Structures are given as C-alpha cells and as structure tokens.
Structure 1
C-alpha cells in the first residue's frame, strides 16, 4: 500500500451524528410499545384458548 492512499469513507455515515437523547428515547419508547402490544395480544390469545 502506498502512503498516499487515503481511507475512503461512506459519505452517508460520515454525515450522520450520533443519535441525540431525544432520538434514543423515541426509539426506546417505540420498542417498549411494540413489546407491550405483543404481550397484550399473547394474553388475549391465551384467554380465548382457556374458554
């Protein structure tokens, strides 16, 4: 390798800043809501099966 070769970086990833606190909280809230909905659906399904 030549000393003059530079490492190529992806312009898309270079532009992105690390997620802000608000972005992290939004993602965590979305994941939590999806998990709770899945739990509620599973609970409903199990209650119907008991009848």
Structure 2
C-alpha cells in the first residue's frame, strides 16, 4: 500500500473559507405574500408566548390578584 498525503487544501483566496452569503430574495414571485405570512406567524408566536408567560406568572403567584 502506498502512503497518501491527506487531501488538505490550503486556501489562497481569503473569501474561500467564508460562510456562504445568501442574497436577498426580494423581487421573486410571491415574495410579498410570504413576508405577510411570516409576519403573521411571528405575531401569533409572540402572542402565544406572552399568554404562556402570564399563565406561568399566575400559577406562581396566585395571591397577587388583589
């Protein structure tokens, strides 16, 4: 068996090891509708989390309702 060197590549380009940059998707078909759906979902999630926090607070401090 022949000894092989590991396949390591030394990056000569400084941009080669950077994380992939995702370009904006604005202008794609249906993008506005997608943004509206995402915004509505975020709003619903925030409302649900606030309701959960209120319920937890009410469970922990039942005598503070006065």
- Structure 1 residue ranges (4+ consecutive) displaced by more than 4 angstroms after TM superposition: none
2:32 corresponds in structure 1 to 21
- TM, length-normalised to structure 1: 0.60
Task: Please tell me whether Structure 1 or Structure 2 has the larger radius of gyration of its CA atoms.
Answer: 2
1:31, 1:18 → 2: CA distance?
Answer: 22
1:41 corresponds in structure 2 to 52
- Structure 1, unpaired ranges of 5+: 1-12
Please state whether the residue corresponding to 1:41 is helix, strand or coil.
helix
Higher RCO (CA < 8 A, seq sep 6+): 2
- TM, length-normalised to structure 2: 0.48
How many aligned residue pairs are there?
38
**Aligned-residue RMSD, C-alpha:** 2.3
2:42, 2:29 → 1: CA distance?
Answer: 19
